[in-house]
Amino acid sequence: HLAGASTQHLACGATWPLDADHRARLCTEGHPKTPLYHNCSGKHAGLLLACHWHGWDLAGYTEPDHPIQQAIVNALQQAAGTTELDNLIDGCGVPTFGISMAAAGRAMAQLATNPKWHRVVEAMTTHPALVGDAQRIDSRLMTVSQGRLLAKVGAEGVIGVVHRQRQQALILKVWDGRLDIRNRYVVHLLANLQWLDAQETQLLTADPALATTQRNDQGQPVGHFSMTFPWVSPTA
């Protein structure tokens, strides 16, 4: 129970964990799906905690006219410097927004430049595995860079990365939504920008899932990912 809330208050829907081993074990042992396993349950728990702290009704917290959702809209508009938001619904049921990549970049940069987000930044970079998981690209970027970079993936091939010391942000969207391309490309893009050093890049690309050479089950090279960065320079 959290702030007077229980599992029944979570409106994200019941599902299995994303982790394949954990999911298989739960199925084998006959455990039911639960909202606690949803990959957005932490976000929903945070929304409920914020509602409790402000004295807002826990019921209907995913509705666009609920005070917590209005507060999110206001915060996003301020951070992104725009009121042009397309109103949509996320996979977990909360409102989400269509926004230009430039506006998203401005919003991400606020994490490095605006002191009011300091606690969020410290929480994410101190506990990166809780942002995604130990193997997801955003968590791995934060771990390998020892918190110099802050990263968060999105659906359909999106990722945002913030360089805290340079106070810069970038947003990457892979057109066809392929996550494997996004993950490989962002590592080499960050290396090209010198946001990752050679050792950090080597640590990441040692993983076959991030390597540019594709191999079959016998370890034979069968393909190669080629990437270009015509619009960037290390000083961009």
pLDDT at residue 232 in the model: 59
* Rg of the chain, C-alpha, whole Å: 19
Q: In what order do the strands lie in the sheet with 168-173?
A: 149-154, 158-163, 168-173
**Cα–Cα distance between 58 and 41 in angstroms, integer?**
15
- Helix runs in 165-217, H state only: 179-192, 198-205
C-alpha 15/C-alpha 18 separation (Å) is 9
Q: Which of 78, 47, 75, 79 is nearest to 63 (CA)?
A: 47
> Does an H or E element contain 21, and which?
helix 20-28
Query: pTM, whole model, 2 decimals?
Result: 0.89
What's the pLDDT at 235? 47
What pLDDT sits at residue 1? 56
pLDDT of residue 158: 96
Two tokens, residue 9: 């208050």
Pairing mode of beta strands 221-224, 213-215: antiparallel
Note whether 155 and 176 are within 8 A (CB): no
Write the single-letter amino acid at 24.
A
Nearest C-alpha neighbor of 62 from the set 34, 35, 37: 35
CB 63 within 8 A of CB 87: no
How many CA atoms, within 13 angstroms, populate the side-chain half-sphere of residue 223?
Answer: 7
Predicted confidence at residue 3, as pLDDT, reads 62
pLDDT at position 229 is 83
CA distances to 61, 62, 90, 185, 187 from 205, in Å = 41, 39, 32, 11, 8
How confident is the model at residue 236, as a pLDDT? 41
Along the chain (236 residues), what's the average pLDDT of each consecutive run of 10 residues?
A: 78 92 93 94 94 94 98 96 94 94 95 94 96 92 98 95 96 94 96 96 93 90 88 54
The per-residue pLDDT for 177 is 94
How crowded is residue 63: how many other Cβ atoms within 10 Å of its Cβ? Answer: 13
